[in-house]
């Protein structure tokens, strides 16, 4: 086991925060059953406005609980699901995964990592300054996005808090994550 699911969340509406659930069902090629962002094509409003036929590379949003820990140490009151994630993890260095990495969640579900979540100004509605706290500059001046990763569902199944996470890396050469 590489890590563990600590919380699962979904929202039928286009809300930033997603209420926690006891279980979510992942649907292959679609995302989280009952979530507003589920579908084969884009569901995020700004992306739909640009081109509604784009493939949905943002079916599932994952955030590492370690980010929540760091943000709380900085004085932010954040909890699982509040930043829009469907799956909160612990023990997997999500931001260090390459594009195409696969995560087996529980017994059956498999998601494939498509890229980084680009944090948006809506995070400041939770608490002023939260968006800035999910961004930093690397030594070379490049922008580091820390607000989680996005994935598509390769194999469906139920996911619950406490489920193990197993990571399968793609073949070399690995492609670093970029915003999707």
pTM (whole model) above 0.85: yes
Query: Rounded CA gap, 121 and 94, in Å?
Result: 22
Residue 48 scores a pLDDT above 90:
no
- Note the pLDDT tens digit of each residue in 114-156: 999 999 899 999 999 999 999 999 999 999 999 999 999 999 9
The answer to whether the CB of 80 falls within 8 A of the CB of 20 is yes
- Cα gap 120→137, rounded to integer Å: 16
Backbone phi and psi for residue 29, each to the nearest 5 degrees, phi listed first: 75, 5
CATH code of the region 3-168: 2.40.33.20
């Amino acid at each position: 086991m590489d890590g563990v699911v600590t919380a699962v969340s979904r929202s039928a509406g286009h809300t930033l925060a997603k209420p926690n659930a006891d279980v979510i069902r992942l649907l292959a090629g679609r995302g989280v059953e009952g979530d507003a962002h589920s579908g084969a094509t884009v569901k995020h409003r700004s992306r739909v406005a640009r081109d509604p036929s784009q493939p949905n590379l943002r079916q599932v949003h994952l955030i590492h609980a370690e980010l929540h820990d760091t943000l709380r140490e900085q004085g932010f009151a954040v909890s699982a699901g509040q930043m829009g994630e469907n799956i909160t993890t612990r023990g997997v260095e999500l931001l260090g995964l390459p594009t195409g990495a696969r995560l087996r969640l529980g017994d059956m579900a498999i998601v494939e990592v498509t890229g980084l979540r680009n944090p948006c100004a809506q995070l400041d509605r939770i608490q002023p300054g939260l968006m800035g706290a999910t961004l930093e500059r690397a030594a070379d001046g490049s922008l580091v996005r820390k607000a989680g990763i996005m994935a598509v569902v390769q194999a469906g199944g139920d996911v619950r808090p406490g489920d193990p996470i197993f990571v399968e890396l793609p073949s070399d050469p690995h492609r670093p994550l970029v915003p999707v």
